Chains A and B, each alone.
Chain A
Amino acid sequence: MNRHHKMDSADRQNRLDGMAQGLIGTDVPRPDGMAKATGTATYAAEERREGMLHGVLVRATVPGGRVADVDTDALAKALGDDVTVITDARLLQVPAQGTDGKAPPQGPDLVHYVGQPLALVVAPSFEVARHGARLLGIRYEGGEEGHFDPEDDATPTELRDKKTVDIGDLDAAMAKAAHSVDAVWRTPGHVSAAMEPHAAVAWWEGEHLTVRSALQMLKFNRDELADALGIPAENVRLLAPFVGGGFGSKLGISHEAVGAAIAARQLGRPVRVVLSRQQVFEAVMRRSETRQHLRLCADEEGRLTGIGHDCLVSNLPGQDFAEPVIQGSRFAYAAPNRHLSLRLARVNRTCAGSVRAPGEAVGLTALENAMDELAEAIGIDPVELRLRNVPEEDPTDGKPFSSMMMAEVLREGARRFDWQRRNPIPALRREGDPRREWLRGMGMSLLVRGNILDEAEARVRLLPAEDGAPVRAEVETDMTDIGTGSYAVLSQIAAEMLGLPMERVTTRLGDSALPPSPGSGGSWGAGSSGSSVYLACLELRTRLARALGCDEGELTLRDGQATGGNHSRPLAELLDGGTIEAVGHIEPGKTAKERRQATYGAQFAEVEVSRHTGEVRVRRMLGVFAAGRILNSRTARSQCLGGMTFGIGMALSEELEHDPRDGHLVNRDFAGYHIPVNADVPQLEVHLMEERDPWANPMQSKGIGELGICGAAAAITNAIHNATGARVRDYPATPDRVLAAMAVAN
């Protein structure tokens, strides 16, 4: 028997708080930690199959046109018959977007961007396949047309008018405002840069395909791959028990899985395809660059009268995804006049898609810079300005908030960071002595991110005591753990609900044959999959209560002992040698539409800036976060550390550079695209606040995986201003830009 729950009303039962094992919310270590620390956790490319061949993809060197001819002569001459070239029409042009569930555009004969994979060279060894890929001769025809600069007047753009918000009269509000800010910010393209490059090992057994893969969302991915290959989804099995990071880059199927599956079919042997790091950069999703025009206006007391946020982003022709930059500006602050719009430019650059916290990551950053400028213009403290503009309801559609901790995180953060020590006058203006090289400054930003619940199923099994081993539980779902802590959190929920120590729960993930989940993405993983585990456990508890002779509400399960209604018996006795199992099934419902659900954070940074070189060092950084019930304080904290670290990269060093002549990605590896290294990141401080959100899910938790990046960079650039007086509005704040802005400011 199974347990289904649709989230149509707030959950006031708060059952998790009535549990007795004492695990939920605690800092339980990851059960998979030791496997990772000893190198025994295996990732996609590490699948070893008898007779496996190796494939290397060949990239387009032009940004458009069609493939006229593929010349294999040089390859055949050098490498002989061992090498196969695959130019199957089913190869992908771009990866699938997250949750698409169907094949992305296919057909390698049409070129849309430099770096698009056009063919797969397969050989007995990686070295030979790589050699062969270099020898393949591709002749192109046509393709002189193309657009490479989103801001060029000739580049076609379209207004995403369904996203437009137009409330009141912003122009009039700006005109009569006591204080205002009106400026343009730019953020460059970013990449996820997960440390594990995309990899797939594919093999066929009759009509059945199995792919060991690096993917975030197996339920959708299975449909995408089946659709791409033209086979039934039930013939496809995906395995991804360990995934070396995702951050959006592995949401949809990509070139390697499709290429490996086609080659394995054609050659009758298992085939492995791993993208090179350069291919991950140029053939997987990038976060679009943004141009953001911010207008803020306020009255004498610092109450916002208007918010304008008009943005330009880009993507390939035909792609529907447009970086939702204005998402957070809908509800971050109260203001009677509001104009938000999003325009999409069509350029021949690498496909744009989801990179950690699409929308808020870049949108809140610029908004929070503008708020800092407004606070300065008004002459009030930046924290105080934000506190004066806490919305009482969603200011765009009038929905009540499910629960909201905006003021609390701001106040707690200011207190913990000792924000009162900040001098509002930039250090450079205070300290005339040029012999003192390093200027210190403090900055802060608000973080917001919408919360999402998605349909999920999980199976939980309670196994009897056997051969001296005690009662234990198994959790099964196709959910992935991309570093987020799914293994820990799902085991923890089951252990709490069933009254078992952590080590007596085993969680199996990353197999598309297991009950379907929405996977890892959009910060919905723990809330959605966790709720399905919770429901399955609730069903098991109901059955155990019946066996014991009490109601579920009276049942206490702890350390393998069931107590309730004047009875107390070991679980082993209640099970009586049998196994019981249930599938939990959560569905989003009315609460998603009736309430604005969001998570909040406040970040505070202290930086030093070299007055001579413009170099910025982050010396101290604090993040205070509220995301409903925290399920595991250790993995939640780590997620926040990750978001904050992404924020440091966005603020100071990360920037995709495209050649203006053909759009090609110039810095397509870690030598040119600088993610933060250890020395760039101080000992970050994270504080998680207590909150329950009954509208989010039955566990009253909200997603936390992306919150840490949503505005983080602004805390740093605002601190740069507090140190130097400089406003860097073109990200990242590299030394050259900081120096130039310092010259303008002083």
Chain B
Amino acid sequence: MQTPLKTTLSINGTRHEIEGDARLTLLDALRDHLGLTGSKKGCDHGQCGACTVLLNGRRVNSCLTLLCMHDGDEVTTIEGLGTPDTPSDLQRAFVDRDGMQCGYCTPGQICSATAMIEEIRQGWPSHASEGLEGEVAPTPAEIAERMSGNLCRCGCYPNIVDAIADVIAEEGP
């Protein structure tokens, strides 16, 4: 048997000390050890994005990284972005635009979009951008390109793009 490893990290602003198998992924630690089941496992191979969380402010596939690599890190999950009573703007917009059907990819989409909006604000270019320099215009093509790491089989992409565009329009660039 493997000797358990102890990892200390901050999750949604709360300090957690988790003892687990060295092979324990960040995703399984969240879901199975802490009961933060908002982060979903769709493929366990970094191919679908359902497990997307924010790691020190940047979006990552939490299934592709081991818990024991994250001593001292700060993780934000869907539960940390908002609750049914106090949802984030994106969570509200996804409901308003029906940016979900089965809902399984939805937390990953919203975590991903949260970080993605910040990437646009910081001027990170993408394949869909006009150029490498200057401000990025949040066009539907730009949003779609940047959200393409998050698969949705129900076919909510147009609604997801609309939901994100609504939030960008409300909050300004």
Chain A residues with CB under 8 Å of chain B are 29-30, 32-43, 45-46, 48, 79-80, 82, 125-128, 131, 192-197, 242-247, 274, 276-277, 482-485, 634-635, 637-639, 641-646, 669-671, 675-684
Which B121-173 residues sit within 8 Å CB-CB of chain A?
128, 140-141, 143-145, 147-162
- In the complex, A127→B148 CA distance in Å? 29
Interchain CA distance A246-B102 in the complex, whole Å = 9
Q: Evaluate whether A644 and B102 lie within 8 angstroms (CB atoms) in the complex, with A33-B94, A244-B40, A277-B45 already known.
A: no
Interface of B toward A, CB cutoff 8 Å: 1-2, 21, 23-24, 28, 31-32, 35-45, 47-48, 50, 77-79, 81-84, 87, 91-92, 94-96, 98-107, 110, 128, 140-141, 143-145, 147-162
The smallest beta-carbon distance between A246 and chain B, in angstroms, is 8
Closest 3 CB pairs between A and B? A39-B38, A36-B103, A483-B102
CB of B158 within 8 A of CB of A641, answer yes
Q: Which residues of B contact A45 (CB under 8 A)?
A: 31, 41
Give the nearest-CB partner of B47 in chain A: A670
Query: For B92, what are the chain A residues with a Cβ–Cβ distance below 8 Å?
Result: 37
A677 contacts B45, C-beta separation under 8 Å: no
Are the CB atoms of A276 and B44 closer together than 8 Å?
Answer: yes
- Residues in A with CB closer than 8 Å to B153 are 192-195, 245, 247, 642, 675
Q: With A29-B95, A39-B38 given, can you name 15 additional A-B contacts, CB distance below 8 Å? A: A32-B103, A39-B77, A39-B78, A82-B1, A195-B153, A638-B98, A642-B101, A642-B154, A642-B156, A670-B151, A678-B144, A679-B128, A681-B144, A682-B158, A683-B161
In contact, A125 and B101 (Cβ under 8 angstroms): no
User: CA A30 – CA B155 in complex, angstroms?
Assistant: 16
Whether A127 and B23, one on each chain, are in contact in the complex, defined by CB atoms closer than 8 angstroms, is yes
Min Cβ gap B64→A in Å is: 13
Q: List 7 A-B contacts (CB under 8 A).
A: A36-B100, A37-B100, A43-B40, A483-B103, A638-B154, A638-B159, A641-B157
**Does more than half of chain B's interface fall in helix, strand or loop, or is it mixed?**
loop
Query: Which residues from chain B contact A276 at a C-beta distance below 8 Å?
Result: 44
User: Which residues does chain B contribute within 8 Å of A645, judged by CB atoms?
Assistant: 155, 157
CB contacts (< 8 Å) of B84 on chain A: these are 34-35, 38, 40
Choose from B28, B32, B91, B151 the contact partner of A38 (Cβ within 8 Å).
B91
* Cβ–Cβ contact A683 & B140, under 8 A: yes
In the complex, the answer to whether A679 meets B145 with C-beta atoms within 8 Å is: yes
Closest to A635 in B: B98
Nearest residue, chain B, Cβ from A686: B158
- Best-buried of A33, A38, A40 by chain B (most CB within 10 Å): A38
| Pair B154/A46 contact, Cβ less than 8 Å | no
What is the bound-complex CA distance between A483 and B143, given in angstroms? Answer: 23
The answer to whether A128 and B1 touch across the interface, beta carbons within 8 angstroms, is yes
* A669 adjacent to B47 (CB under 8 Å): yes
Shortest Cβ distance from residue B34 to the other chain A in the assembled complex, whole angstroms: 11
Does the CB pair B45–A669 fall under 8 Å?
Answer: yes
Q: From B93, which residue of chain A is reached at the shortest CB distance?
A: A37
Tell me, in angstroms, the Cα distance from A669 to B81 when the chains sit together.
30
**Which residues of chain B come closer than 8 Å to A38, judged between CB atoms?**
38, 78-79, 81-84, 87, 91, 107
Q: Is the CB of A277 within 8 A of B44?
A: yes
| Of the residues A82, A195, A646, A678, contact of B160 by C-beta under 8 Å | A678
Task: Write out the residue numbers on chain A whose beta carbons fall within 8 Å of the beta carbon of B162.
Answer: 683
B102 pairs with A244, CB closer than 8 A: yes
| A43 to B143 Cα, complex, angstroms | 28
Question: What residue of chain B has the Cβ atom nearest to residue A124's Cβ?
Answer: B1
Q: Given A37-B87, A678-B148, A195–B155 Cβ distance below 8 Å?
A: no
- Asked if A683 and B158 make an inter-chain contact with CB atoms under 8 angstroms apart, the answer reads yes
- B95's closest neighbor in chain A, by CB? A33
Complex Cα–Cα for A235 and B2 (A):
39
Which of B21, B95, B99 has its CB near the most chain A CB atoms (within 10 A)? B95
- Bound Cα distance A245, B40 (Å): 13
How many Å lie between the Cα of A635 and that of B150 in the bound state? 21
Q: Give the residues in chain A near B95, CB-CB below 8 Å.
A: 29-30, 33-34, 37
Is the CB–CB distance between A195 and B157 below 8 Å? Answer: no
Considering the chains assembled together, what is the distance between the CA atoms of A45 and B36 in angstroms? 12
Complex contacts, A197 vs chain B, CB 8 Å: 41-43
Pair A39/B48 contact, Cβ less than 8 Å: no
**Chain B residues with CB under 8 A of A192:** 153
Nearest residue, chain B, Cβ from A130:
B23
**Max count, chain B CB within 10 A of own CB: residue among A483, A485, A669, A684:** A483
Write the chain A residue with the least CB distance to B90: A37
B42 & A48 in contact (Cβ 8 Å cutoff): no
CB-CB under 8 A from B105, the residues of chain A are 195
Question: Could you tell me the distance between the alpha carbons of A683 and B148 in the complex, rounded to whole angstroms?
Answer: 14
> Which residues of chain A come closer than 8 Å to B77, judged between CB atoms?
39
Question: Which listed residue, B100, B154, B161, touches A678 by the CB 8 Å rule?
Answer: B161
Docked Cα-Cα span, A193 to B150, in Å, equals: 14
Contact A46 B21 (CB under 8 A): no
Measured in the bound complex, the distance between the Cα atoms of B107 and A482 in whole Å is 16
Contact of B147 among A484, A646, A678, A684 (CB under 8 A): A678
Q: A36-B100, A127-B23 given as contacts; is B106 within 8 A of A642 (CB)?
A: no
- CA gap between A276 and B78 in the complex, in Å: 23
Which of A39, A247, A669, A682 has the most B CB atoms < 10 Å from its CB?
A: A39
A128, B140: Cβ atoms closer than 8 Å:
no
